Amino acid sequence: MRFCRRARDVRIMIEKTKSTIFAVAAIGLLLTPMPAPASETELGEPVRTNLAALPQGDAEVQKLAFDVLMDGSNIGEHVVTLTHRDNGTDVAVDVDIAVTFGPFTLYRYEQENRARWEGGELFAFRSVTNNDGDDYVVEAERTRAGLSVAVNGAEPLVLPQWFPTTYWDKRTVMQEALVATQDGVLKEVEITPAGAETLTVLGREIEARKYEMRGDIDLDLWYDDQDRWVKLAFSFRGNEFEYRLR
């Protein structure tokens, strides 16, 4: 009888572990949606952004550091560092997510993304990603024709849009397509304002505007009255994921 109960407990534990693996894999889908063959598309006028309109702050270096939570438990971090210079802004994005079970790592996601913005536009970026053993290196650079993107050393393709899936820039919510920084795939999205909400951020209550992104990427974003990215959230297979600013 004791053996039967123990076997039942083991089966329950295995099912919970499998569910956790599938659910946390959604983080990878969020950061860079399911890969699809990139193809050269008809060129269009790129959507422009203006860094001068973004929150600059008094310091030369700004940082947005988020804890990544799954159902309230911390599974990693997502850190954005902006270095403002006279001739542009350097943006570093570092993501480190791991789901463990005892001494075992069930899922790992790591990304280093380095971007250069000049004249209020994305000039180039290079990202290196480990999506639980699947490795990607993306090198992208603006040209007169659009964004030239090469993935894992392949022949570069030109995409008509250039805005990346890094979310720190509130101009994200004005886009109809985003370039996935993991695999260089252009993703179509529809973004709808969802009103103001009161959030607790860094120990105090603030008013933030919520935006719902649907399409090839499904998630919600919040920005405060200074256009600072303060929260991200989405659901997957019954699990709740949240980026919490720290």
Per-residue pLDDT tens digits for 12-37: 444 555 455 555 555 555 554 433 33
Q: Which of 167, 200, 164, 236 is nearest to 19 (CA)?
A: 236
Looking at every residue in the chain, the average pLDDT score rounds to 83
What pLDDT does residue 148 have?
A: 97
What DSSP element (H or E) covers 25? helix 2-31
Which element (helix H / strand E) includes 209? Answer: strand 204-215
Q: What is the Rg, in whole angstroms, of the alpha carbon atoms belonging to the chain?
A: 19
CA distances from 70 to 89, 122, 202 (A): 32, 31, 19
Domain ranges of the chain: 2-245
pLDDT digits (tens, 9 = 90+) for 212-228: 999 999 999 999 999 99
Give yes or no for residue 206 having a pLDDT over 60: yes
Q: What is the arithmetic mean of pLDDT over 158-177?
A: 95
CA trace torsion 18, 20, 26, 28 (10° rounding): -90
Give the mean pLDDT of 71-99. 95
* Average pLDDT for 193-208: 97
